Amino acid sequence: MADWHRFDVANGDIDLATFSYGTPGETTPDKPVVLLVHGWPDTHHLWDLVAPQLAEHFRVYAYDTRGFGDSSRPSDVPAYRLDALAEDMFAVCRAVSPDGKTHIVAHDWGSVQAWETVTTPGAEDAIASFTSVSGPNLDFLGEWARGKMARPTPSNVGQALSQVASSAYTAFFQVPGASDAFFRAFGSDRVWTEFLHFIEGTPRENARFGPTLREDMISGLKLYRANIRGKLARPNPRPTRVPVLEIVNDRDIALRPAIYERTHTHAERLWRKRSTTGHWLPYTNPDYLAATAIEFIEKIATGSSSAPNTIDRARVTGPAPELIGKLAVITGAGSGIGRETAYALADLGAELVLADIDLETVEETAIECKAKGVPATAYRLDVSDTTAVTRFADEVRDAHGVADIVINNAGIAVAGSALAASDEQVDRLLAINLRGVISGSRAFGKQMVERGTGGQIVNLASAAAFTLSRDLGLYSASKAGVLMFSEALRAELAEHRIGVTAICPGIVHTNITASTEFAGAADEAATRKKVDGFYAKRNFTPDRVASDIVSAIRKNKAVVPVTPEAEFGYRVYRFLPWAARIGARQKLAD
């Protein structure tokens, strides 16, 4: 167990078992005070893996909320109303920081209680900040649900029904005889540990429970019975001036991300971080939670945070864009598909790190993205240099944090005869198109795995990966390699919740066509002009590819043929390969 030291705090006739973390008697009055608040069915031991990391920066306390652990257990349901629980929290805050303010980090029902506390008038005088994990404000939730059903569009109804399905277990918890008996029978450490491991992959050794787990499960059910029906039926949303960080978990089995979409209308100072994590973040991803809380608390306490700064991009000032708080890295972002993808992700609120071998063009892209209101930084990068790609990934991590989205887009084209191409042309083509994608995927993928909160890697392949052409043998080989590598990497990284997508555009008019080398062509300039003119007339623009890339990120698609001819070619090669071979005999410039 962690290094906790107990003392008791009284709130009327309720005794709250409160714990400090660290060496008894050690005083660090210059450090901010952090109070950790657990939910159902946990105790302060929920924080055993988080508290040591926070204690390197702050004075850390936790307490068993009423009905749990070593604290008082009132027998009547009304004693568990949120207003009473908020009074408990204020009492503990006064005890641990009598002359200052307290930073709250809370999970599940602890977060629900903290929302009640920070929306109490005058809360900002006692509470410096609030980090909310997997626990909504019930008044905000009731308002959100009523708003969705008042405007019953398919999207609104779908979101509401999705949340109802996720919360269906709460109806069972409202039935005292059945739910109490269930947890008396199955509320053991072993069963709960296996449940957490099964439902979201929590390492078994991370599950930390006190000796009162079964008793806590049963008494804690009064939280549901005392609050949910009344709050959802008659919501009374109140504002808060306390700075709030919402950590939203996309794989939360109980809470859908959509329920937080209106928090900004009540929280004056709001930040949001979102990742492909589950409900029990303090057990499953304690390092991520600790690092995120440390950065936010330092930002509020001192006005700055430890490098890298990832919290500024998470600030919410209105309806939150879909990718707010995310970091996206794009190679080949100086023009074409890379530039248009940068614009599309900027519109969705992502911070952008943009790289290209031509620094001037990528700086132009960055300026346009900044004009859309997001941070954007330009780098010069030659993706054919494996050492440079690895160094670039490290520089990005140190300056901006670990990337959430990586788009390996940089590429060139060599067409014409495979036999006539020079060795230098072949080596450069493979170094950029294939080795560059592999290098970028490996360098950033390792960082994503180490962080443990998922991510998305998008690799630009081509319809040429499966559409045969006598004049694109070398280019097709490089892009087929990208396609197969992406498919295999997707399988490798699935257990880490990292998606990998291969984007396969067909005839798209970009700068690549105007700079394509045609090996063996009698008049290379004329051939290039003819092909470029055909692509221009086709008029499938890079922004349409960017739209498909965004869709692929949202849906974590494996392979995305973009244009109609790519869709057709993908199916012909799969189901009629002989037809693809016959079609391959047609010359590109004919």
Q: Which residue type is seen at 230?
A: G
Residues 6+ apart with CB under 8 A from 542: 336, 337, 339, 340, 508, 509, 510
Residue 7: strand, helix, or coil: strand
Kindly calculate the radius of gyration of the chain based on its CA atoms and give it in whole angstroms.
Answer: 28
> Can you read off the two tokens belonging to residue 409?
């887009």
Nearest to 115 by CA among 250, 233, 270: 270
Nearest to 133 by CA among 102, 111, 163: 111
Residue 271: strand, helix, or coil: strand
Q: What is the Cβ-side half-sphere exposure of residue 386, based on CA atoms within 13 angstroms? A: 7
Residues 6+ apart with CB under 8 A from 371: none
Distance set, CA 257 to CA 253, 322, 555, 582 (Å): 11, 11, 15, 50
Which residues share a beta bridge with 416?
519
Residues 6+ apart with CB under 8 A from 504: 461, 462, 463, 465, 466, 479, 483, 559, 560, 561, 562, 566, 570
In angstroms, the CA 321 to CA 263 distance is: 13
Q: What is the Cβ-side half-sphere exposure of residue 152, based on CA atoms within 13 angstroms? A: 2
Distance set, CA 575 to CA 137, 142, 271, 572 (Å): 53, 52, 50, 5
Distance set, CA 323 to CA 125, 236, 317, 345 (Å): 32, 29, 14, 8
Active-site option among 475, 535, 570, 573: 475
Q: What per-residue string of b and e applies to 560-574 under the rule 16 or more CB within 10 Å gives b?
A: bbbbebbeebbebbe
3-state DSSP of 532-549: HHHHHHHCCCHHHHHHHH
Nearest to 365 by CA among 398, 330, 412: 330
DSSP result, 509-537: --HHHHH-EEET-TTHHHHHHHHHHHHHH
**Euclidean distance between the first and the last CA atom of the chain, given in angstroms as a whole number:** 74
Cα 176 versus chain centre, distance: 37
> Can you read off the two tokens belonging to residue 444?
């950033």
Look up 260 and say whether it is catalytic.
no
In angstroms, the CA 502 to CA 558 distance is: 6
Residue 443 backbone dihedrals phi, psi, to 5 degrees: -65, -50
Q: Which helix (H) or strand (E) holds 274?
A: strand 270-275
- List, by residue number, the catalytic residues: 475
